[in-house]
């Protein structure tokens, strides 16, 4: 198995990791009542910090993975995924497709006017891509070749309204920053012929079904990240502020919580049984936990790659 992890040069601001901070930041119900004109918003480019990705070979559960590739970029690398032999990197406003994990120059770039504030993306069974975009409060779908297909935006009747998007207006050039966003979508996962999402502001786990109808499965986990699912159909995600992995049924009923003692659990991926890989951003570590025994199996200090560890992906060789 190959593991991919992203890294940022951004220094962790612990004051912004608290549940109380995030709740107070977004609690004003009138914050989107009269938002600034969309055309007045500045572009999303931020030169204050950049990113990198690391790729690891992992053959035995008990063994620490072996680093085989590290790539530094002049932009914030949100996530890295392998598709066949290709490497795909997500910046905040584009995807770059590389021929292999060893290449430094991309074959091509995928972007769209509504692609801004990218977080996690997923490779679908047909090779297409679905991308979570916080600025548009939407998930964007692309074909295997990178052709834009459609977008699904969170519904106004659930989350209210901030902006109607005029034709040909680029959210890269007029970036809707966090405090003007409806939900701050930060992950997407294919599930039961639809898509699961997580939202930071409300702490929702939401679901777009096959007919593109939306419902909230659970709510209140402010700061939530990294929604995913288990083979039995249960759903799991990171309750980032509380340093927990939460497992819920399709109905939203909580089944289990696994606590790491972290103040910002950025991402987690199930491996088998009760084994989970964890990106613990407040410690800048990559960790494997056995929650059946509440035991840390191994830990990688990521200080050599950046200031904070970010998002994980897995690839079976």
Could you read off the pLDDT of 71-90 as tens digits, one per residue?
999 999 999 999 999 999 99
Provide, rounded to the nearest whole percent, the portion of the chain with pLDDT above 90: 92
Could you read off the pLDDT of 162-198 as tens digits, one per residue?
999 998 899 999 999 999 999 999 999 999 999 999 9
User: In this structure, what token pair is assigned to residue 92?
Assistant: 């905040």
Could you read off the pLDDT of 11-55 as tens digits, one per residue?
888 888 889 999 999 998 789 999 999 999 999 876 678 999 999
Average pLDDT over residues 285-291: 98
Place of tokens 């951004």: 10
Could you read off the pLDDT of 110-148 as tens digits, one per residue?
999 999 999 999 999 999 999 999 999 999 999 999 999
Could you read off the pLDDT of 59-69 as tens digits, one per residue?
999 899 999 99
**pLDDT band at residue 240 using 50, 70 and 90 as cut-offs:** very high
Q: Are 258 and 220 in contact (CB under 8 A)?
A: no
Distance of alpha carbon 22 from alpha carbon 178, whole angstroms: 11
Mean pLDDT of the chain: 96
Q: Are 189 and 196 in contact (CB under 8 A)?
A: yes
User: Distance between terminal CA atoms of the chain?
Assistant: 5
* pLDDT computed for residue 187 by the predictor: 98
* pLDDT computed for residue 46 by the predictor: 66
* pLDDT computed for residue 186 by the predictor: 98
* pLDDT computed for residue 47 by the predictor: 64
> Is pLDDT of 317 > 80?
no
Distance of alpha carbon 134 from alpha carbon 151, whole angstroms: 13
Q: Are 158 and 216 in contact (CB under 8 A)?
A: yes
User: In this structure, what token pair is assigned to residue 166?
Assistant: 């005029």
3 state DSSP class of 25:
helix
Average pLDDT over residues 268-280: 98
Q: Are 198 and 224 in contact (CB under 8 A)?
A: yes
* pLDDT computed for residue 7 by the predictor: 98
Distance of alpha carbon 306 from alpha carbon 176, whole angstroms: 27
Neighbours of 179 (CB within 10 A): 13
HSE-up of residue 304 (Cα within 13 Å, Cβ side):
8
* pLDDT computed for residue 183 by the predictor: 98
Sign of CA dihedral 97, 212, 207, 125: negative
What is the topology classification, in CATH, of domain 2-269+304-315?
Methylamine Dehydrogenase; Chain H (2.130.10)
Sign of CA dihedral 150, 152, 156, 157: positive
């Amino acid at each position: 198995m190959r593991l991919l992890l992203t890294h940022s040069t951004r220094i962790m601001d612990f004051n912004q990791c608290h549940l109380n901070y995030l709740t107070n930041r977004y609690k004003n119900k009138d914050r989107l009542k009269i938002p600034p004109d969309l055309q007045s918003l500045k572009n999303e480019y931020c030169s204050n910090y950049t990113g990198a990705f690391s790729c690891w070979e992992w053959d035995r559960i008990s063994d620490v993975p072996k680093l085989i590739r590290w790539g530094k970029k002049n932009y914030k690398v949100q996530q890295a995924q392998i598709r066949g032999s290709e490497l795909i990197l997500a910046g905040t406003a584009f995807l770059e497709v590389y021929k292999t994990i060893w290449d430094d120059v991309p074959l091509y770039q995928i972007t769209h006017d509504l692609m801004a504030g990218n977080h996690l993306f997923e490779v679908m069974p047909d090779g297409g891509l679905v991308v979570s975009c916080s600025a548009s409060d939407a998930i964007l779908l692309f074909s295997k070749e990178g052709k834009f297909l459609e977008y699904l935006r969170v519904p106004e009747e659930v989350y209210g309204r901030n902006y109607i998007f005029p034709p040909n207006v680029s959210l890269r050039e007029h970036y809707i920053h966090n405090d003007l966003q409806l939900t701050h979508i930060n992950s997407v996962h294919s599930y039961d012929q639809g898509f699961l999402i997580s939202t930071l502001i409300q702490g929702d786990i939401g679901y777009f079904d096959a007919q593109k109808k939306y419902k909230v499965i659970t709510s209140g986990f402010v700061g939530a990240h990294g929604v995913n699912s288990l083979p039995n159909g249960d759903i799991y995600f990171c309750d980032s502020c509380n340093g927990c992995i939460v497992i819920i049924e399709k109905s939203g009923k909580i089944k289990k919580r696994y606590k790491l003692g972290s103040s910002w659990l950025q991402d987690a991926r199930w491996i088998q049984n009760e084994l989970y890989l964890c990106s613990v951003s407040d410690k800048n570590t990559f960790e494997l936990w056995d929650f059946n025994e509440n035991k840390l199996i191994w830990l990688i200090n990521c200080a050599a790659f950046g200031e904070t560890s970010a998002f994980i992906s897995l690839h079976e060789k």
